[in-house]
Every structure is written in structure tokens, then in C-alpha cells.
Amino acid sequence: MSIIRVENLIKRFGNITAVNDISFEIEEGTIFGFLGPNGAGKTTTINILCTLLAPTSGKASINGHDCMKESSKVRKAIGIVFQDTTLDKDLTAAENLIFHAYLYNIAKDKMQERVDDVLRFVDLYDRKDDLVKKFSGGMKRRLEVARGLIHRPRVLFLDEPTLGLDPQSRTNLWEFIAELPEKHNVTIFMTTHYMEEAEVCDRIAIIDNGKIIAMGTPDELKKAVGGDVVYIKTTDNASAKKEIERLFRLDVSEKEGELYLTCVMGDTCIPEMIRTIGERVLSVRLQRPTLNDVFLKLTGKAIREEETSGMDTIKEEVRAYRRRH
């Protein structure tokens, strides 16, 4: 069953079309990812879905409730972790959660138990009486996820949950997010602009300039881009080439003394390949498709790093700074 339905959604700000006629559906209990560069319209879409913004035209519904007309029912059914932190840093972790529990009208006798449960789940129970301003970026993110779960929402929105985190906390957070649908019985709608993070999603929509330009499972999308590229150098390229081609039934090419082939799961191909050609291997490297490759493939242009204006960079830095403090 689809828990989120979006049909021909359009949002204009003056003459900017932030969301340009998008449609999609999300299955209950899955992780759906919105992948796209800065300014693609991801946050705008989330704001419409969570009733904070009225669309210019089009339809959106969550759990059968219209996001515009039945905003109160929609709000009860969703939890959100916004792109920028929305915690009160002058309150403790537990106080932030209690505040939320009251806002969502949770029965007083269940409140403490629910708060303790989610705190344990995000591994912050020991720190529950610390002021949030003492927390690291990763801890704040986890606390926000915990807060979003207290009222047992049907859908949890995560807007760029890993932005501004160090690589280690990022990995931890993703492992944690991957467990959510099963453990908490929620559907996840998340956004990111990192291809590798979209790996945990069941389905991904790639969005650029307000338009969805591709949608599918991570594997499908990778196939569309051509998958991973494995580069290999051997002592005898000619014979190795033949044996690898026979092994995978794939074409192997050669460039500057190096063999290369495109396959869906590069990391599992490599061990098999090495077993086959054995002693002859000199070096192996794996190149994963990036958002850049997907973009290049789908739009004919590289992802617009250079178009990020100075103001955006400053905003990002201010956000990252706030998150650390």
C-alpha cells in the first residue's frame, strides 16, 4: 500500500520553480530517498508534505490524508528531522523530548516510558540530563531522530540527516536509519546529495531543478549509469582479458596498459576475478559510480559544484557551525 502519494506537485516562489510537476508514491515500510544537488527542490517538497508550505498546484497525501486540507491529521502521522537543527539547546535532551511529548498530546502515564525508550534506542540515555548545547553534531542528529519517533509516526522525514557530520558519525547514522522501518514500523522519506548514502534506500528518486529525472532501486539506477568500474593490471593482459570475459560474460576493455570492466557489484567481482587470474595480478582498483556519473549520464552535465554560490557556501558553514555548537 502507498502511504505517500504525490501527484503533479508544483511550487513556485516568484519566478523560481522550486518543484516542477513531480509525482511519486511511496510504499509503506520502505526507505525512500530523494537524491539531488543543492537547490534541487528537496526541502521544498518536504515542507509541502509536512504541511508547512502550500503548493502552487498538485496533490499530496499521507496515509490517505490530504496535506493541505487535513493538515492536523497529517501532522499527527509524521515525524520530521529538518535539515537544520530544531532542538532547544538551552534545554536538556530529556526536556526536549518531554516538550515534544506534550505537543503531541501523549498520555502522561506513558510519557516518561516513551522518552526513556527512544533515548535508549539512540544510545543517549546516559546523557539525558545534559544540555543539548554540549552535544556533538551526531548526537544532536540522533536526538532529533529519537524525538521524531516519540509519537510513533507512520512516516519519518529526514532532510539531509548527515549534512555537516564527520565520516564516522555519518556511517553510524546510516546504519541506524537502515534499522528504523523494521524496529519502529515507519516509512522513511529522506533526502541527501551523496550517492553512496542512497545505498540504504529501497527506492530513490533523482531530482534536479525541481524535476524527477530518474526513479528506481539503487541497483537499477547504478545499472543505468553503468555500475562500478573495476580496473586491473596484470603481467599478461591478453590472457587475463579472455579469462575474465569468460567468467563474467562481460566485455573487458583495455586502456593505457590497464584492463577495465563495468559491473553492478564491483566489490564482489574482485575476489572472483583474482581467484581466476591468480598470480598474474599486479594491481586492482574499483571506481564506484557517483552522483556525478548519474548526472552526467542523465542530464549530460556534471553536477553543478561550480554553481554553488558564495552565499550558499557561507550558509552551509553557518549551519555546520550551529550544528557543532
Ligand X SMILES: Nc1ncnc2c1ncn2[C@@H]1O[C@H](COP(=O)(O)OP(=O)(O)O)[C@@H](O)[C@H]1O
Does residue 80 interact with other proteins by CB under 8 A? yes
Alpha-carbon distances, residue 24 vs 27, 144, 187 (angstroms): 10, 26, 15
266 binding partner (options Mg ion, ligand X, other proteins, none; Cβ < 5 to 8 Å by kind)? none
CA 85/CA 92 separation, integer angstroms:
15
Q: Rg (Cα) of the chain, in Å, rounded? A: 23
CA 71/CA 62 separation, integer angstroms:
10
CA 81/CA 141 separation, integer angstroms:
8
Binding segment (CB under 6 A) for ligand X, from list 32-40, 92-100, 216-224, 230-238: 32-40
36 binding partner (options other proteins, Mg ion, ligand X, none; Cβ < 5 to 8 Å by kind)? ligand X
Report the interface residues with Mg ion, using CB under 5 A.
42-43, 83
DSSP letter at 285 equals: E
| Nearest CB to Mg ion, comparing residues 46 and 270 | 46
Sequence-distant (6+) residues with CB within 8 A of 311 are none
Does residue 54 interact with ligand X by CB under 6 A? no
Does residue 262 interact with ligand X by CB under 6 A? no
| H-run or E-run covering 215 | strand 211-216
CA 151/CA 309 separation, integer angstroms:
39
Shortest Å distance, C-beta 34 to other proteins: 18
Shortest Å distance, C-beta 16 to other proteins: 18
Among 42, 75, 151, 170, binds ligand X (CB under 6 A): 42
Among 39, 148, 164, 218, binds ligand X (CB under 6 A): 39
| Nearest CB to other proteins, comparing residues 222 and 323 | 323
In contact, 287 and 301? CB cutoff 8 Å: no
Does residue 36 interact with ligand X by CB under 6 A? yes
Among 53, 115, 195, 221, binds other proteins (CB under 8 A): 53
CA 213/CA 225 separation, integer angstroms:
13
Output the furthest CA–CA distance in the chain (Å, rounded).
74
Among 7, 13, 16, 52, binds other proteins (CB under 8 A): 52
In contact, 208 and 40? CB cutoff 8 Å: yes
86 binding partner (options other proteins, Mg ion, ligand X, none; Cβ < 5 to 8 Å by kind)? other proteins
Binding segment (CB under 6 A) for ligand X, from list 40-48, 93-101, 250-258, 297-305: 40-48
Instruction: Supply 74's cell numbers.
Output: 497529517
| Nearest CB to ligand X, comparing residues 238 and 311 | 311
Phi, psi of 65 (to 5 degrees): -105, 135
First-residue to last-residue Cα distance in the chain: 41
CA 65/CA 72 separation, integer angstroms:
9
In contact, 117 and 184? CB cutoff 8 Å: no
Sequence-distant (6+) residues with CB within 8 A of 308 are 38
Binding segment (CB under 6 A) for ligand X, from list 38-46, 133-141, 145-153, 248-256: 38-46
| Chain position whose Cβ is nearest to Mg ion | 43
| Nearest CB to other proteins, comparing residues 86 and 217 | 86
250 binding partner (options ligand X, other proteins, Mg ion, none; Cβ < 5 to 8 Å by kind)? none
Q: Which of residues 84-143 bind other proteins (CB under 8 A)?
A: 84-91, 95, 98-100, 102-105
Instruction: Supply 175's cell numbers.
Output: 546504519
Name the residues that contact ligand X, by CB under 6 A: 13, 16, 18, 36, 38-44
Name the residues that contact other proteins, by CB under 8 A: 50-54, 72-73, 75-76, 78, 80, 82, 84-91, 95, 98-100, 102-105, 147, 322
